[in-house]
Amino acid sequence: MDKIKNWWRKLPIPIAFVLCSLAFVLLALFLTNVTVQFAQRNMQEIQQNYLVSEIPMEITDSIPDMEGQGQENTGGEMEWQLPKEYFSDADRQKYDAYEKLEDIAAIFWYSICLCLAALVFYLWKIRKPFQILNQATQKIANHDLDFQIHYSGQDEFGRLCHTFEVMREELVRNERRLWNSIEERKRLNAAFSHDLKTPLTVLHGHTDMLFSDLPDGNLSKEEMLESVQTISKQISRIHAYVNTMNSIQRLEDYEIHPAKVSAEAVEKMLSETAAMLFTKGRTDIQNRLSSAELSLDMEAITQICENLLSNAARYAKERIAVTLEQEEDKLILVIEDDGNGFSQKDLQNASRPYYRGGAVDAGNHLHFGLGLYISSLLAQKHGGTLQLANRPDGGAKITVKVRCI
């Protein structure tokens, strides 16, 4: 029985419908034949009661032509069947009923069997997947995605259920991404508020000092100038924070628009960016791309490269190595430096926003710990990933993979 069910579920819907209809049409044909034979047999039994060898005169006078109405009996004598008008009332009613039964048998049984075929086709082929999809639709409408669609059929409904399950899984992933985005936004706001406390505290302290000491003339010009410079520096820091937050908001809403670019253009962009950001050593660039033309959003790729090269330049001692490779439909960008590399804590948190580890800003440049976070965000939008690692011989290694076809 299970084998029959599995075979039935694998049948395409049109073939299953044709087979089901054909089976019930054959059943209707059989039942019609049985019914007609039954009616004819009973009509013949009634007729047997009215076969005569000699036709009465009163009947022959009323029947203009009896030719062809007779049949030979077993003795070779001709027998004639009387018209049903000469049957008894009871036999005539039975005879009429059997004639009507013979006439309507085909219509009756074909109608019944076609209805049964539709019912069986619905119960065996359609009802279960419809129920599954209806329940799934209601759960999704109620924001409940904690279920799975199980249907073993391999017909059109089976493929539809599979597609519905794929859609449900995608909705689950989107919901997780949404919640992760909300949590990330909360962390960003918390980090932003925390980092603003330091410059605001400094501003508050220096303004209080100016308000209290300046009227009394207790501040020298040098002290006053130093306070003003500190205030200006902290205001610049707050301004940079605000611009950074605006940039992150724009990046979260940024849409990738790939366009055809040459591999030489990508290499040239890397060379110019490295020359601008890393001046204390050398940058080696290896181009191993197999395609002369790539499909990239150069604005996003340029920002990724600027952030990663800026990060490498901050910690590199003498050398930065950049490698461009291609793996099927992915562009692989590897940036390595000869610095101290990532600590275990850095590997876990370096791509999170506002993470600066134990680093000290070089050259008095503002460093908010957002470069790797922004690069990771852009790489994901470009259909790729960002991975952090350490080189076997020391130094950091960052690998970015983005879709390029």
pLDDT of amino acid 75: 52
Report residue 7's pLDDT band, with 50, 70 and 90 as the boundaries: low
| Token reading at 373 | 């976070």
d(CA 358, CA 273) in angstroms, rounded, equals 26
* Ranges of each domain in the chain: 2-50+87-141, 150-253, 259-403
Integer Rg of the chain from CA: 46
CB 319 within 8 A of CB 296: no
* pLDDT per position as a tens digit, 165-216: 889 899 998 888 888 878 877 777 776 676 677 778 888 887 887 787 777 7
d(CA 151, CA 372) in angstroms, rounded, equals 44
Residue 66 has pLDDT above 70, yes or no: no
Residue 118 has pLDDT above 60, yes or no: yes
Counting Cα atoms < 13 Å in the Cβ hemisphere of 304 gives 29
The distance in angstroms from the start CA to the end CA of the chain is: 50
* pLDDT per position as a tens digit, 340-379: 999 888 888 887 776 776 544 444 444 557 788 888 888 9
Phi, psi of 368 (to 5 degrees): -100, 0
Task: Judge: domain 259-403, CATH 3.30.565.10.
Answer: yes
* pLDDT per position as a tens digit, 29-42: 999 999 999 998 99
Q: Which CATH architecture has domain 150-253?
A: Orthogonal Bundle (1.10)
Query: Do 150-253 and 259-403 agree at the fold level?
Result: no
Name 349's Cβ contacts closer than 8 Å, sequence gap at least 6.
355, 357
* pLDDT per position as a tens digit, 287-304: 998 888 999 999 899 989
